[in-house]
Amino acid sequence: MKIENPNISTEVKIKEAARRIFLEKGFAGCSSRDIAAEAGVNVALVNYYFRSKERLFDLIFKDEFDNFFSTMVETFSSDQLNLKEKLKIFISHEIDFLCKHPDLPQFLLTELKRCDDNSTEHSDKFSKISSTGVFAEFQQAQADGKIREIDLLSLSLLVMSNCHYPFLGRGMIMSIHQINEDQFLAHMEKHKEYVSEMLINYLFINNENK
């Protein structure tokens, strides 16, 4: 008898507890018992619902990875916007998103490094970015003389650096500048404008601002 109980709260409780713990401490930095304690359930239930710590982790990693890249790809997929608007909105959306998930960048980078199965495992996710056509769009704009001559690698790096780094280095930054998490997140509103202005000024050749 298969009982389709809506009482899946234990499974969800464990998964959400694991999400919090994994994002904060990383896979190697926590134990199954940490997760069970956070969820307020018996240790055995972690394996009862998810078979192993690793399978539970993989589930959450995939979740967060997809979520992260969906957010990145979202704006680029629009047909309605020109490149400059896409970049502006991308920067704004990306920083907004990361303000709500400040631990995500470090989590993804750390665990990507740990697994190290970079070749074919996640490359289809990565290719979603190029399949939005945004790279081709940039190259066309370069051919048209609308944006500066710059390779796609450095272009990606400049954009990602300024959107993602604040959330990677925020611990250090907060220490140096003696501010707390809330002050830092509040500051990101201002920072969005600086990043947007700087990148657009640098990349786009015909500067009609705003």
Residues that bind DNA (CB under 7 A): 1-3, 5, 7, 10, 30-34, 41-48, 51-54
3 three-class SS:
coil
> By C-beta, is 58 or 137 nearer to DNA?
58
Residues 6+ apart with CB under 8 A from 152: 135, 138, 139
Residue type, position 95, single letter: I
Residue type, position 87, single letter: L
**Which value, in Å, is the radius of gyration of the alpha carbons in the chain?**
20
Under the rule (CB under 8 A), what is the footprint of a second copy? 25-26, 28-29, 106, 108-110, 112-114, 118-119, 122-123, 126, 129, 150-154, 156-158, 160-162, 164-166, 168-169, 171-179, 187, 190-191, 194-195, 197-199, 201-202
Tell me the closest approach of the beta carbon of residue 202 to a second copy, in angstroms.
4
Residue type, position 106, single letter: Q
- 102 interacts with, out of a second copy, DNA, none, CB within 5 to 8 A per kind: none
- 54 interacts with, out of a second copy, DNA, none, CB within 5 to 8 A per kind: DNA
CB atoms within 10 A of CB 36: 20
Closest CA to 105 of 23, 192, 194, 203: 23
> By C-beta, is 59 or 115 nearer to a second copy?
115
Tell me the closest approach of the beta carbon of residue 15 to DNA, in angstroms.
12
- 10 interacts with, out of DNA, a second copy, none, CB within 5 to 8 A per kind: DNA
- 45 interacts with, out of a second copy, DNA, none, CB within 5 to 8 A per kind: DNA
> By C-beta, is 3 or 172 nearer to DNA?
3
Phi, psi of 31 (to 5 degrees): -115, 165
In the numeric block, which tokens belong to residue 112?
């990507």
Helix boundaries (H) for 77-103: 83-100
- 66 interacts with, out of a second copy, DNA, none, CB within 5 to 8 A per kind: none
Closest CA to 168 of 115, 93, 108: 108
Q: Are 111 and 27 in contact (CB under 8 A)?
A: yes
> By C-beta, is 41 or 203 nearer to a second copy?
203
Tell me the closest approach of the beta carbon of residue 142 to DNA, in angstroms.
49
> By C-beta, is 140 or 156 nearer to a second copy?
156
